[in-house]
Amino acid sequence: MAEKQKVYASVKDERLINIRREQMVKGAISLFKEKGFHRTTTREIARKAGFSIGTLYEYIRSKEDILYLVCDQIYDEVQSKIQDALDLKKVTIETIREGITSYFLVIDEMQDEVLVLYQEAKSLTKESLPYVLKKEMQMVAMFEQLIKLFSENYGLLLKDKEIKLLAHNIFVHGQMWSFRRWALQKIYTLDEYTNMQVELFIQGVQTFSGKKRDHPFKPA
């Protein structure tokens, strides 16, 4: 099982480490978005973060460490916001709608960060990549749980593979608002895009469950 990578720091003050790495990550995100990971130098990241290259290397060993910290922080923030938005007590069609809407709002708020993830995660080291991918799958699993509870509540008997596909679709369609924004945001508002994706989700559930389009969802 992939484990969290320990990033080297010569400084021992955990509070200061967190502060400096937060500054580093913030500067790196804007540079990676503008220039890409490979064309960005550690000196540029240090300058953007507001300290010297020497100070930067007190908190990391390589540019790959910075990319790992960027990906780790973004996934943590997105996951935390999704968890706060999802209500798993009594999952109804409205719960699903609210969950998808909240997730898409998070993606809209963090468009630059998600775009960096999409473009640069492939540059992670072979040690870091499994852990980052595991965190992505944990977010997909939250949607799987939401759909599973919804299926049970409405007696839909969706198969495990169907639930997984629906969950991945939600996850990817949310990300798509970021990495295809150059095209999508010329056509749709966020509300329009979200409502249409919710309708596509409902159609998918109806198709897999054999429920007719004009038949309303009723709790089992």
96-129 per-position pLDDT tens digit: 898 899 899 989 998 888 888 888 888 888 888 8
To the nearest whole percent, how much of the chain has pLDDT over 70? 94
Q: What is the pLDDT of residue 220?
A: 55
> Which band of pLDDT confidence, cut at 50, 70 and 90, is reported for residue 217?
low
Q: What is the pLDDT of residue 25?
A: 92
Instruction: Give Cα 62 to chain centroid, integer Å.
Output: 24
DSSP-assigned letter for residue 42: H
pLDDT exceeds cutoff 60 at 216: no
What the block records as the tokens of 199 is 């309708």
Helices marked H in the chain: 14-35, 42-49, 53-56, 63-85, 93-109, 111-120, 129-153, 160-179, 181-184, 190-209
Full set of structural domains in the chain with CATH? 7-61 (1.10.10.60), 70-209 (1.10.357.10)
Instruction: Give Cα 118 to chain centroid, integer Å.
Output: 10
Residue position matching structure tokens 């945001």: 185
Q: What is the pLDDT of residue 56?
A: 94
Q: How far apart are CA 130 and CA 52, in angstroms?
A: 31
66: Cα within 13 Å, side-chain hemisphere:
30
Q: What pTM was estimated for this model as a whole?
A: 0.83
Q: What is the pLDDT of residue 6?
A: 81
Length of the chain equals 220
What the block records as the tokens of 121 is 């995660």
> Which band of pLDDT confidence, cut at 50, 70 and 90, is reported for residue 28?
very high
Instruction: Give Cα 147 to chain centroid, integer Å.
Output: 18
pLDDT exceeds cutoff 90 at 42: yes
In sequence order, the 6+-apart residues with CB closer than 8 A to the CB of 37 are: 63, 67, 119, 120, 123
What are 60-70's pLDDT values in tens digits? 999 999 999 99
Q: How far apart are CA 217 and CA 198, in angstroms?
A: 14
What are 134-167's pLDDT values in tens digits? 988 998 998 999 999 988 888 888 999 999 999 9
> Which band of pLDDT confidence, cut at 50, 70 and 90, is reported for residue 52?
very high
Q: What is the pLDDT of residue 3?
A: 66
> Which band of pLDDT confidence, cut at 50, 70 and 90, is reported for residue 89?
confident
What mean pLDDT value characterizes the chain? 88
Overall average pLDDT of the 198-206 stretch = 91
Do the beta carbons of residue 35 and residue 10 sit within 8 Å?
A: no
Do the beta carbons of residue 24 and residue 56 sit within 8 Å?
A: yes
